[in-house]
Amino acid sequence: MLKKACKKIFAAILIMAMICGIFPNLGDSQEQVKASSIPKYVVVLDAGHDASHAGAQNRSNGYREEVLTYKIASYCKQELEKHDGVKVYMVRDSYSCPFGGGSVKSTECNSKRVEFSKNVKADLYISFHLNSSGPSARGVSVYYPNMNYKSEIGRNGEVLAKDIIKRLKALGIPQQGRGTLIRNSENNTRYPDGSLADYLAVIKGNKYNNIPAVLIEHCFISNASDCEQFLSSEEKLRTLGVADANGIMDYLGLNNLKQASDGNWYFYKNGSVDYSYTGLALYSGNWWYVKNGKIDFNANTLAYFKGNWWYVRNGRADFNATTLAYYNKIWWYVKDGQVDFNANTLAYYNNNWWYVRNGQVDFNANTLAYYNNKWWYVRNGQVDFNANTLGYYNNKWWYVRNGAVDFSFDGIARYGSGDWYVHNGVVDFNYNGLYRVSNLTQSMSDGQTVTFDGWYSFVNGKVDKHYSDFIYDGKEWKPVTNENVSSTYNGFAENGENNWFVINGNVKSDFTGLVTDKDNITRYVENGKASNITGVKELSCQEYNLTTGNTQEVNGTYHFTNGCLDRTYTGIVEEKNILTYWENGQLNKDINKLVKYKNELYYFENGKCDKTFKGVVQDDTGSWYINNGKVDYSFSGMALCNKNKWWYCIKNGKLDSSVNRLEYMYGRWWYVHNGVIDFQENTLVQNNKGWWYVNNGMVDFSFNGISKTDHGEWYIKNGNVDFNYSGMALCTSDQNYNGKTYFHKDWWYCIKNGSFDARADRLEYLYGRWWYVHNGVIDFQENTLVQNNMGWWYVNNGMVDFNYNGNFKYKNWTYAIKNGHVEF
């Protein structure tokens, strides 16, 4: 088999084989192996010509070249396929043209045949033909590529041609001419290197694709003897095809193993054992490992063959093997009998699982590896099933239990210099707080066992403190007994810096509200952490009672001291601009007074003092001017009370109730009475300009009429008491005093020196008439007799009736009246 030309194909195998030796049980061909994974030679058989591109024909017997070449090639295929080591492709599968038929030229048909060969990655190309010439020419000849360009293709082709012609000549076919020959271009066609090209299109075309091709002219279709001896029956045609197949297998080295009389199997070449050959060789469906010309049935190695490295066990390639194989100081990953250089996996071998990276075991690997739905801990290239540790992978630290990442693990893991908080199998470096475990054990690599038990405080995921022996009962740390070391602990737990609200052994980080413990201490808890606020907080939240386990809604304002609800706090709390007044833990909303605080008097209303308040307020001690929430002793002047809208006269911060005067303000004169402008006040007030009429607290300069006040009954002119007036005056509005109307609107009253003269009793001339003024007022109901210095006069409806003539009865006497005058 291995001719010189073959060495090219097998060069790599040989080198390999010298280094190693391999072999396993490839033997029985019943094993289910992916066909593509078994090494095979690809042989393309080109039955020359076709129905559309006909070859030579013999008119006397009707033989046609394209028919006979198809039959010979088909028989050759049948023979070759008896061997697992060969994959055969026919350029055409029928008599017809596979590449377009009559519509294409034969040269294009040949180009397509070459292209087909390239596409199936042929190792060899055999073109089947029959010669034709004058009737006497006969015999076999085989063309092979010249040595001009890609000379190794030419050398391989020459070996192939000689292997084939040897088998054909053995059938008795005479050699035509030189037998094997080169045919160069006859029109000076050149290869890219300038050398003369091959003449035959399929030989030239395949050479471009690095495929050695030969063209067999089996015999002469034009010669009667050749036809009769070699072409005249199916059996004769089959014999030709088998001879071609054997020549091909000789070339490929597939016919080279034979058992010698000593019982050993040897690799033959040219009829004798080739002791220089080391590599794979096919026999009876198995690929065997040949070492120095002899099958080595003990070989266990890797062997290079047709581009891959194959696993050899007990002398035979094992295409089912998935394992590790040691070769050239490296452990290789073998899958389906060949080294998988792309494999990144875990591989089981020798009772261990190994970490394979790019097809080889990486003994330096310390990582996590995914395999069979788990992540495994790899230590020095090997899965460590005893590992209980943390494994670094993908920028995180993972919790490994018995060699595999435990994604459900919540707890503590010791690694390096620390003990770490693990949540869902990964270290949480953001965790700060408490975490409780009960008898959690971890087997360390040194054989020791670590036990975690109790409360642990974490800072950035690392244990900061351990409270395994004590438990916080909400008041103090106490020794733990077996009963209360459990996941049922409810209460507060402290970690040095913080106090945590724990329910069933876990910090209740979703809770914000009040928590009352068994000692009736109530804390404000925010996100599970006890607050340490001191001051006031308005809350609308839940209150959890640790004694009862009950929860209730709370709404209110609470005072805290160091995070604890202060049920006894009495005093003032200052927050921002608000002061609040607390008594026994309650905001006392009944406080409405001045309260001394920080040496100042602050005004509290409903228990609160707004330090931005300004204005006049009243408490039991008086009325005060407040600025910035407190009494402003520096202020003197008028100030408004926003509540009752009165103005107060303030002196050094306090109402000066001794003030009684008219005060000019906002363009008007106001009556300040006992320090306050009383807008209900209607009175007369005296100043150095006289007495003034005050209506609703303000001097009314528009007032004209009579007024009744505490100061008497006076005639007012333009708001001022007119002491010079004497005469009648019209009352312009009802004048009430102490709930009684003293002067009536539209009545006329008698004034004397500005004051109402209630004793006036006379006839008074006014507006052209004489009126009867009785007790100071004109009485329009009055019908009587009135005397003046002119006599007695008849008064009808308050007025002297000068038109009256008749009698009038007065005090039991009847008088005669003439023109209103009594005629005595």
The residues of the shown chain that bind Zn ion, judged by CB under 5 A, are: 48, 50, 52-53, 55, 97, 109, 129
The torsion defined by the Cα of 780, 781, 787 and 791, in degrees rounded to 10, comes to 80
Give the residue with the Cβ less far from Zn ion, 53 or 138: 53
Q: Which of 784, 818, 789 is nearest to 804 (CA)?
A: 818
Tell the smallest beta-carbon distance from residue 57 to Zn ion (Å).
Answer: 11
Tell the smallest beta-carbon distance from residue 112 to Zn ion (Å).
Answer: 8
Q: Residue 755: beta bridge partners? A: 714, 752
- Report the C-alpha gap between 246 and 75 in whole angstroms: 12
Q: How many CA atoms lie within 13 A of 570 on its CB side?
A: 3
Give the residue with the Cβ less far from Zn ion, 129 or 291: 129
Give the residue with the Cβ less far from Zn ion, 52 or 720: 52
Q: Residue 349: beta bridge partners? A: 352
Give the residue with the Cβ less far from Zn ion, 46 or 801: 46
Tell the smallest beta-carbon distance from residue 20 to Zn ion (Å).
Answer: 46
Tell the smallest beta-carbon distance from residue 304 to Zn ion (Å).
Answer: 39
Are 748 and 760 in contact, with CB atoms under 8 Å apart? no
Q: Which of 715, 697, 698, 693 is nearest to 706 (CA)?
A: 715
Cα–Cα separations (whole angstroms), residue 646 to 170, 415, 616, 667, 681: 143, 79, 9, 17, 12
Are 296 and 303 in contact, with CB atoms under 8 Å apart? no
Q: Which of 575, 580, 576, 577 is nearest to 608 (CA)?
A: 580
Tell the smallest beta-carbon distance from residue 66 to Zn ion (Å).
Answer: 8
Cα–Cα separations (whole angstroms), residue 719 to 666, 686, 704: 18, 12, 7
Tell the smallest beta-carbon distance from residue 195 to Zn ion (Å).
Answer: 26
Q: Which of 716, 711, 679 is nearest to 695 (CA)?
A: 679
- Report the C-alpha gap between 707 and 715 in whole angstroms: 7
Tell the smallest beta-carbon distance from residue 241 to Zn ion (Å).
Answer: 16
- Spatial neighbors of 67 by CB under 8 A, at least 6 apart, are 95
Are 202 and 46 in contact, with CB atoms under 8 Å apart? yes
Structure tokens at 322: 């998935």
Cα–Cα separations (whole angstroms), residue 206 to 42, 155, 308, 412: 14, 14, 24, 70
Tell the smallest beta-carbon distance from residue 42 to Zn ion (Å).
Answer: 22
Give the residue with the Cβ less far from Zn ion, 86 or 109: 109
Give the residue with the Cβ less far from Zn ion, 45 or 109: 109
Tell the smallest beta-carbon distance from residue 45 to Zn ion (Å).
Answer: 14
Tell the smallest beta-carbon distance from residue 143 to Zn ion (Å).
Answer: 11
- Report the C-alpha gap between 258 and 522 in whole angstroms: 98
Give the residue with the Cβ less far from Zn ion, 143 or 421: 143
Tell the smallest beta-carbon distance from residue 341 to Zn ion (Å).
Answer: 42
Burial of 204 (0-12, 13-18, 19+ CB in 10 A): buried
Give the residue with the Cβ less far from Zn ion, 112 or 518: 112
Beta strands in 241-394 (DSSP E): 257-259, 265-269, 272-273, 279-283, 286-291, 294-295, 301-305, 308-313, 316-317, 323-327, 330-335, 338-339, 345-349, 352-357, 360-361, 367-371, 374-379, 382-383, 389-393
Distance of CA 34 to the CA centre of its chain: 44
Are 148 and 222 in contact, with CB atoms under 8 Å apart? no
Tell the smallest beta-carbon distance from residue 61 to Zn ion (Å).
Answer: 17
Give the residue with the Cβ less far from Zn ion, 129 or 207: 129
Give the residue with the Cβ less far from Zn ion, 49 or 87: 49
Give the residue with the Cβ less far from Zn ion, 109 or 546: 109
Tell the smallest beta-carbon distance from residue 201 to Zn ion (Å).
Answer: 12
Tell the smallest beta-carbon distance from residue 94 to Zn ion (Å).
Answer: 11
Give the residue with the Cβ less far from Zn ion, 53 or 150: 53
Give the residue with the Cβ less far from Zn ion, 50 or 244: 50
- Report the C-alpha gap between 127 and 220 in whole angstroms: 16
Q: Which of 18, 25, 68 is nearest to 48 (CA)?
A: 68
